[in-house]
């Protein structure tokens, strides 16, 4: 099969022929029809993720058609159109048994713990736990765009943030994760404040439902949020993952507010300072959010099918596998305004 491979961290990717994946007994092999290009892939390419072993094929936001199944797979067959969560569960550990496959003790992640979907084929272990059937009205490119950013944002806003109609929700960082969070929170009836340093992304956030936009390059976002909300946000999400956005997200909350950390804190942004005096004095909650379980996709799909959510509007670029290999090293520059998806593997 053809795949985009890097032999060393921070070195160019090469599209070349590599061996096809082996179908293990509990696995399904998927012919990749679309795959998102995510900043998490860039972190893996940079060497920030200890799960990545060289040589490596990135790509964790995928959709495609089942082309082979192992002998132990009971619920899936060749020809079904599917997607998968970016973090896959084993189905048997303590977390999986409790329904928390997104933090499985023996998790697998295409593009991190194994070769990913910047390729013609990808194998997904524990297929009965991790595959998600696509409704007919959701195409594979849209499904691939859900894989990490939109699904992660959905769970962060709905479950972890416990967002209610009328809540003030601040979203720090308007890349793919942040724009997804803006759209989802607005669809739930929240009043959304979008924060970024790029005007084009703030304009995009307004189209996704943001009621207020703040240019953090020109305005103190904490003061602006507290002023706009008359006391602070009920829910605030760091959708970027930096020391600055994490700090601002906690500081902009009203009393008993909830900070949800979605953006990865890696590299130079690892272990950021947190204003713990505000956490204690205002009884704030600090909550992590890491993906979404396969069985929870149905709620998100219903909102998409009804038209309440339009993740297809976030797709700004469709590229070839070769173009994606060239773009990946530039993801720290945040190219484009929305989500980039590979829709041609050859």
Say if residue 9 is in the same domain as residue 84: yes
156 part of a folded domain: no
218 part of a folded domain: yes
pLDDT at 345 > cutoff 90: no
On average, the pLDDT of the chain sits at: 95
Of 265, 288, 311, which one is at a domain's C-terminal end? Answer: 288
% of the chain beyond a pLDDT of 90: 91
Encoded tokens for 314: 């976030």
Say if residue 171 is in the same domain as residue 34: no
Give the C-alpha separation, 344 to 33, whole Å.
Answer: 7
Say if residue 126 is in the same domain as residue 167: no
- CATH number, residue 98: 3.90.180.10
Structural domain total, the chain: 2
Residue ranges of E strands in the chain:
2-5, 14-17, 28-37, 61-69, 81-83, 121-124, 132-133, 168-172, 191-196, 212-215, 233-238, 253-261, 285-288, 315-320, 339-344
Say if residue 108 is in the same domain as residue 212: no
Say if residue 275 is in the same domain as residue 196: yes
Say if residue 27 is in the same domain as residue 144: yes
Say if residue 280 is in the same domain as residue 297: no
pLDDT at 346 > cutoff 90: no
pLDDT at 332 > cutoff 90: no
Say if residue 171 is in the same domain as residue 246: yes
Say if residue 66 is in the same domain as residue 200: no
What is the average per-residue pLDDT within 73-99? 97
Say if residue 179 is in the same domain as residue 139: no
pLDDT at 225 > cutoff 90: yes
194-204 pLDDT, tens per residue? 999 999 999 99
For residue 328, the enclosing domain spans 2-149+292-344
Among candidates 38, 17, 19, which has minimal Cα distance to 29?
19
pLDDT of residue 28: 98
- CATH number, residue 217: 3.40.50.720
94-151 pLDDT, tens per residue? 999 999 999 999 999 999 999 999 999 999 999 999 999 999 999 999 999 998 889 9
209 part of a folded domain: yes
Among candidates 127, 134, 112, which has minimal Cα distance to 59?
112
pLDDT at 210 > cutoff 90: yes
Q: pTM, whole model, 2 decimals?
A: 0.92
What is the average per-residue pLDDT within 307-328? 94
């Amino acid at each position: 099969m053809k795949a985009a491979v890097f032999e060393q961290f921070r070195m160019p990717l090469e599209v070349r022929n590599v061996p096809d994946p082996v179908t293990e007994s509990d696995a399904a092999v998927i012919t990749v029809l679309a795959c998102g290009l995510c900043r998490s892939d860039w972190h893996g390419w940079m060497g920030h993720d200890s799960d990545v072993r060289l040589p490596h094929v990135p790509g964790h936001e995928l959709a495609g058609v089942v082309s082979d199944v192992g002998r132990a797979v009971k619920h899936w067959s060749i020809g079904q159109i599917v997607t998968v969560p970016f973090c896959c569960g084993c189905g048997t550990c303590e977390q999986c048994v409790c329904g928390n496959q997104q933090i499985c003790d023996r998790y697998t992640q295409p593009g991190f713990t194994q070769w990913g979907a910047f390729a013609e084929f990808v194998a997904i272990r524990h297929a009965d736990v991790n595959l998600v059937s696509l409704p007919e009205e959701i195409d594979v490119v849209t499904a691939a765009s859900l894989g990490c950013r939109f699904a992660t944002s959905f769970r962060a806003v709905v479950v972890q943030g416990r967002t209610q109609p009328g809540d003030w929700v601040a979203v720090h960082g308007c890349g793919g994760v942040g724009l997804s969070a803006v759209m989802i929170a607005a669809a739930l009836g929240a009043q959304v404040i979008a924060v970024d340093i790029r005007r084009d992304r703030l304009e995009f956030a307004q189209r996704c439902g943001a009621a207020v936009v703040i240019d953090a390059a020109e305005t103190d976002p904490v003061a602006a949020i507290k002023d706009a909300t008359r006391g602070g946000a009920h829910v605030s999400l760091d959708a970027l993952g930096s020391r600055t956005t994490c700090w601002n997200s906690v500081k902009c909350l009203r009393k008993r507010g909830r900070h949800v950390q979605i953006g990865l804190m890696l590299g130079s942004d690892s272990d950021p300072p947190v204003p713990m005096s505000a956490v204690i004095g205002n009884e704030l909650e600090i909550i992590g959010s890491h993906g979404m379980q396969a069985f929870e996709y149905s709620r998100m799909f219903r909102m998409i099918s009804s038209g309440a959510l339009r993740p297809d509007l976030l797709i700004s670029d469709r590229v070839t596998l070769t173009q994606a290999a060239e773009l990946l090293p530039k993801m720290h520059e945040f190219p484009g305004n929305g989500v980039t998806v590979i829709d041609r593997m050859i």
